[in-house]
Amino acid sequence: MLSQLNNILEKKGRTLHSIPPQASVLDAARRMKELGIGAMLVTEEAQLLGIFTERDLLCRVVAEGLDPSSTSVSEVMTPEPQCVSPFITVENAMHVITDKRFRHLPVVEGDRLEGLISIGDLARWMVGTQKTQLEELVRAVKGVTLR
């Protein structure tokens, strides 16, 4: 059976880091650094308005010479980001990320934000799954366990 994004969210957790659209880019960058994350959801009253990423910071703020302390997140975020269902497969999510050249995908069920999946989350899951499958194959063929 193919794994769904729900499986990744269960393992990694569903903690969402968000910021209001009127927050400054400087505040967003500081929070992202503090949390060790590469993206924050931009929300207002639990509604997803956009996503603010390291790429937005670099390309839309730094490269444009904007002042991060006086530029609001809403001015430079990626508005209306593509979202995916928690029930799509990990493989399909990987296709979306690679085809669209995204690094983060908000996971939404109906109007409810369920989580945020990164390309790193997907790669980790896929490598772990492949390792498990390989170990099972080796065990079945040779009767030994890989270490």
With helix as H, strand as E and coil as C, how does 7-50 read? HHHHHHCCCCCEECCCCEHHHHHHHHHHHCCCEEEEEECCEEEE
Residue at 147 is within a domain:
no
pLDDT in tens, 64-121: 999 999 999 999 999 999 999 999 999 999 999 999 999 999 999 988 999 999 999 9
Q: Which amino acid is at 78?
A: T
What is the domain range of residue 24? Answer: 5-142
pLDDT exceeds cutoff 90 at 3: no
Looking at the 3D structure of the chain, how many domains does it have? 1
Residue at 32 is within a domain:
yes
Which pTM was predicted? 0.82
pLDDT in tens, 11-61: 888 889 999 999 999 999 999 999 999 999 999 998 999 999 999 999 999
